Structure 1
Amino acid sequence: MALRSICVFCGARPGHDPAHAAAAVTLGRTLAEQGIRLVYGGGAVGLMGIVADAALAAGGEVIGIIPQSLEHSEIGHSGLTRLEVVDGMHARKARMAELSDAFIALPGGLGTLEELFEVWTWGQLGYHQKPLGLLEVNDFFGKLCIFLDHLVSEGFVRSEHRAMLQSSNSAEALLLQLQDWQPTAAAKWAGQRQP
């Protein structure tokens, strides 16, 4: 699958580990060097600002989507290729998904996880067939992945749907995984008795 545009979910804070910022720089630069447009939440702070600045510095195209209510508190990035201001968080996520061929999560907090899980759920339900990935930084997502595997073993998530989420500690390797990913044919409710 050709990836022309990737949405990156990440923190509006840089985190304590300098490796988080370094990974954001590498990802932003790699996307630009491969001619892949970056779509993200539009902030100028934290990992959001770092990944955007790295892509811009490498000559990449960057589109930010930010709710009007957060434009000032998240300090909307004024140097982007395009900054779209939308009505709210739901509109933000829908627009980011609309503009993107794939999704990558860098380290972040509740908002990052919420965005990742919502777009993953949309894929599980068949609303899109776009790949998702975690850019692993010093085992940041390690315990989360263990828990996701636990959900499979407990029968709450199908293994095919768990496999929708790729993971790598290399931006280049993760992009290759996302390009090679094939959508699952398993329906969410396959094999279950309907009420």
Structure 2
Amino acid sequence: MASGPNSNVTPAQAKICVYCGSSPGKNPIYLKAAQELGKLMAENNIALVYGGGTVGLMGEVAKTIVSIAGPDAVHGIIPEALVKWERDSTYSDTKDSNGYHVPEEQIYGRTTVVKDMHTRKLMMAREVIEGGPGSGFIALPGGYGTMEELLETATWNQLGIHNKGVCVLNINGFYSGLTEWIKTAVDEGFVQEGNAHILVSATDAEGALKALREYKVSDARYGLDWGSE
């Protein structure tokens, strides 16, 4: 149904998938950035979709949002194999309907346990794709898993699987090497110049949210038909 000036249709809530480390990192600036992102998301009524862990930066973003906006504002999605790794003591006494140990909902929000990584990533992407204006993907600092998820999401944008913004929160220059690599890939002919800004960058949480709100889809993306993918 189309909305107009007199429409009563309420726009869908914005949803942001945050990729980040299950470690806090060695520099306190990273935890502070996670807290600030969570605070701004909650204050702007933006829901979080994330990897479902309670430790490191991922746990910090989740519990910050829940402390302000309540548990309905957060949905963690975690593969069964990772439940015992990306967790702290809040998993010990709480089980879902399938008997999986999950974190306390009043601290970390709702958790869904899935069978594998592919299901996790698909569910996270679908929630963002169905979100309202300002929805997208943000990467805080992290390790191999964070980088893999970030680049896959950027690739999905390039391939036309989704049209949501993808932004790195370049705290303390953490992602400067990646942004330089993208420039090199463009210069050497491996990434089309028009696709150079599929992955955008911000240096603070406010800038990251703004980047997603103002995100422009590249005209150079591949116009592929993925059906119901």
TM-score normalised by the chain length of structure 2: 0.79
Separation of aligned partners in 2, 1:88 and 1:31: 28
Task: Give 1:176 shift.
Answer: 1.1
Q: Give the match for residue 62 of structure 1.
A: 74
Number of paired residues? 189
Q: Give the match for residue 25 of structure 1.
A: 35
Separation of aligned partners in 2, 1:153 and 1:2: 39
Separation of aligned partners in 1, 2:180 and 2:12: 30
1:99 aligns with 2:109: no
Q: Deviations over 1:140-161 (max 9, x none)?
A: 1111111111011010011222
Q: 2:84 aligns with which of 67, 72, 77?
A: 72
1:177 aligns with 2:219: no
Task: Give 1:182 shift.
Answer: 1.8
- 3-state SS of the aligned residue for 1:117? helix
Q: Give the match for residue 16 of structure 2.
A: 6
Q: Give the match for residue 150 of structure 1.
A: 184
Task: Give 1:64 shift.
Answer: 0.1
Correspondences of 1:156-171 after superposition (within 5 Å): 156-171=190-205
- 3-state SS of the aligned residue for 2:173? coil
Q: Please tell me whether the aligned partners of residues 16 and 138 of structure 2 are also in contact (alpha carbons under 8 angstroms).
A: yes
- 3-state SS of the aligned residue for 1:15? coil
Instruction: Flag the 1:62–1:48 CA change in 2: closer, same or farther, 3 A.
Output: same
Deviates more, 1:34-43 or 1:94-103: 94-103
Q: Give the match for residue 193 of structure 1.
A: none
TM-score normalised by the chain length of structure 1: 0.92
Q: Give the match for residue 47 of structure 1.
A: 57
Correspondences of 1:107-122 after superposition (within 5 Å): 107-122=141-156
- Whichever residue aligns with residue 39 of structure 2, its letter is R
- Of the two, which has the highest radius of gyration? 2
Runs of 4+ aligned structure 1 residues displaced above 3 Å come to: none
Q: Please tell me whether the aligned partners of residues 2 and 179 of structure 1 are also in contact (alpha carbons under 8 angstroms).
A: no
- 3-state SS of the aligned residue for 1:103? strand
Separation of aligned partners in 1, 2:76 and 2:189: 37
- Whichever residue aligns with residue 23 of structure 2, its letter is R
Task: Give 1:164 shift.
Answer: 1.3
Instruction: Flag the 1:66–1:157 CA change in 2: closer, same or farther, 3 A.
Output: same
Separation of aligned partners in 2, 1:15 and 1:183: 32
- Whichever residue aligns with residue 177 of structure 1, its letter is A
| Matched-pair identity in % | 43
Q: Deviations over 1:44-66 (max 9, x none)?
A: 00111111111111225110000
Separation of aligned partners in 2, 1:147 and 1:3: 34
